[in-house]
Structure 1
């Protein structure tokens, strides 16, 4: 019927030489898919155009016979192929390298997938890693712990942190009583106490805590932390300091272990070298020129920090946005804004900073 006749689109013919002649096939065009009717339930018959394309592709992938009239692949015997020799020792263990197996014939060369036969590395005794740990600098401990499982085990031992403390301990440097030589005898929280002591003893760490200039600390790094408490105190006639203690969510919580009878093990944690109740804590200290009241923000999460120039162009203005959820786009959240203006200085004290415990 002329009304229902469909246009025939010519496809570009290409030829590929193989064997004694060439096999013609057509490229798959967009019209082969755009003009195909929807399949009817129970009918899986392909259209004529798709069938022709499938047959032409099958002929293209077919292995042509050699012009010399050799036997077909399946008609050959095993002696007609050249098989590379495989190591007998590996063959007995069942771990022969498949990459060495190569079938060479006049028709086709088949290479199987290459298997990994790399030799395992050397495993050194744990005592060697303890000796090497005596030459590791404090800022390289993280890199040393990622070398291997043995180095990771050494870093998690109490002996490693005691040796690190005694390497940099000096009698002429005054330390708080909680960080004295007697503090390394107790295993619980040993790592945290050694880190705090290194900020008194290790010169590169000491230099990072010295105040270099005003507004040296970056308050934007505190976004996402929850405010645990806030307080203020009067420093001088025209200086007031507002302090906010913030903590990263999920850090600093002690994991409880249970004994065999299902009860909480009260003795758990006394040998935990990595125990640190101040993990993720920091104090944001804002020095202002005047006293100002601010809303209650304890328990809220700091989502945004804006530090701009004040209206008088002489000082800075700090705006803190607190929310009950980290994602402020959620409905039903409580958004609280705290504006401090004029601001003289902004400091951030982490839990390892010597000034952290001196903030009042």
Structure 2
């Protein structure tokens, strides 16, 4: 006989309780609060769970029931999320449209410009208090400030502010040279390296040998080359090998360079044929025969220790054609210039006091 209290349990089948048995459509007429929240109320969920347990006889097993409840809640939540996404997208499009309308109104009313444009006379007054090392920063403020730095009055006033009778200036930098408008800007800048102490100290403190090999001259064209004999403290004379280079113009995308055009009346004032030129001066202890490299492009420049470990060695390599993307063409022979032993190496910009000036400048 069966034991007392024994009850026959129904065998559980997974296909009886599944997500297909209960769908969101069954709750279409339910309370809207249930659908909006995406979750069933606890009282309704407990009643539904109890009913399922009674039908299936699964008081101890709660896993399938939880799956049914979670699937129904997830489906309701997905519906709510999709509706919220649609609402948010519609709101974004409306906000974008309103922004475009506001920007269009601002452009029509002239309210889109930020700040105010001051007359050029104010910038002329402010330019009288600018230090020579701050001219570039001042010119970058706005177009009117840049235009002031292009005028002849600006450079003449800058020269008079720093001119001193105690300084021995070359004849080309004397006050009488200010009457010539051509090369005026270049002459004033070069004279400041004699008159203005911060600039003159910068030149005097430059070391005889650079800390690292400068890469400024790569892909530059050699315009001139000459050798000078120098008599110094040594019993034997030294030799200066001078190479004048000009930087190749950089290519700009779409063939246009985004730069301001100089005013026509001030082109002579700002004209400078040596603006992109450098002078490489290598002083050696002995005279060295070298090849002719004028008109060739510099592709390699190194400064190493000499074989005697007491001096330095300079190696220059030139090509007939410019470098393509910083690389030499294959199979093109180059001309090497090796200077050893080297006493000093100096790289000078066009404004350096020792940079050779053109006769007409």
TM-score, structure 1 length as denominator? 0.62
In the other structure, the counterpart of 2:58 is none
| Pairing partner for 2:281 from 281, 285, 303 | 285
How has the CA–CA distance of structure 1 residues 177 and 292 changed in structure 2, closer, same or farther, with 3 Å as cutoff?
same
How has the CA–CA distance of structure 1 residues 156 and 109 changed in structure 2, closer, same or farther, with 3 Å as cutoff?
same
Query: Is structure 2 residue 300 aligned with structure 1 residue 304?
Result: yes
Secondary structure of the 2:193 match is: helix
Secondary structure of the 1:221 match is: coil
How has the CA–CA distance of structure 1 residues 270 and 123 changed in structure 2, closer, same or farther, with 3 Å as cutoff?
closer
In the other structure, the counterpart of 1:201 is 195
Secondary structure of the 1:170 match is: coil
Report the structure number with the largest CA radius of gyration. 2
1:77-92 aligned at under 5 Å gives the runs none
Distance 1:269 1:323 in 2: 40
Distance 2:265 2:301 in 1: 37
How has the CA–CA distance of structure 1 residues 171 and 157 changed in structure 2, closer, same or farther, with 3 Å as cutoff?
same
Q: What does the per-residue CA deviation read over 1:161-194, in whole Å, with 9 as the maximum and x for residues that have no partner?
A: 1111111111221211111112222222211111
What displacement does 1:216 show? 4.0
Distance 2:113 2:223 in 1: 53
In the other structure, the counterpart of 1:229 is 224
In the other structure, the counterpart of 1:159 is 153
Q: Which runs of 4+ in 1 moved over 3 A?
A: 17-22, 58-62, 108-111, 114-119, 216-220, 268-271, 331-334
Q: What does the per-residue CA deviation read over 1:61-83, in whole Å, with 9 as the maximum and x for residues that have no partner?
A: 7537xxxxxxxx9xxxxxxxxxx
Distance 1:270 1:142 in 2: 18
Secondary structure of the 2:338 match is: strand
1:255-274 aligned at under 5 Å gives the runs 271-274=267-270
What displacement does 1:331 show? 3.9
In the other structure, the counterpart of 2:54 is none
How has the CA–CA distance of structure 1 residues 310 and 171 changed in structure 2, closer, same or farther, with 3 Å as cutoff?
same
Distance 1:197 1:134 in 2: 18
8 Å CA contact 1:318, 1:341 repeated in 2: yes
How has the CA–CA distance of structure 1 residues 313 and 109 changed in structure 2, closer, same or farther, with 3 Å as cutoff?
closer
Distance 1:211 1:60 in 2: 75
Q: What does the per-residue CA deviation read over 1:242-300, in whole Å, with 9 as the maximum and x for residues that have no partner?
A: 1111111249xxxxxxxxxxxxxxxx888522100111122211111221111111111
In the other structure, the counterpart of 2:177 is 183
8 Å CA contact 1:190, 1:273 repeated in 2: yes
Q: What does the per-residue CA deviation read over 1:196-218, in whole Å, with 9 as the maximum and x for residues that have no partner?
A: 11111111110111155431475
- Quote the RMSD (CA, aligned, Å): 3.4
Distance 1:336 1:199 in 2: 36
Q: What does the per-residue CA deviation read over 1:110-132, in whole Å, with 9 as the maximum and x for residues that have no partner?
A: 65134556663122222111110
How has the CA–CA distance of structure 1 residues 61 and 272 changed in structure 2, closer, same or farther, with 3 Å as cutoff?
farther
In the other structure, the counterpart of 2:83 is 63
| Pairing partner for 1:135 from 129, 135, 159 | 129
Distance 1:221 1:175 in 2: 30
Higher strand content, 1 or 2: 1
How has the CA–CA distance of structure 1 residues 212 and 158 changed in structure 2, closer, same or farther, with 3 Å as cutoff?
closer
Higher helix content, 1 or 2: 2
8 Å CA contact 2:36, 2:80 repeated in 1: no
- Which is bigger in relative contact order (C-alpha 8 A, separation at least 6)? 2
In the other structure, the counterpart of 1:315 is 311
How has the CA–CA distance of structure 1 residues 244 and 18 changed in structure 2, closer, same or farther, with 3 Å as cutoff?
farther
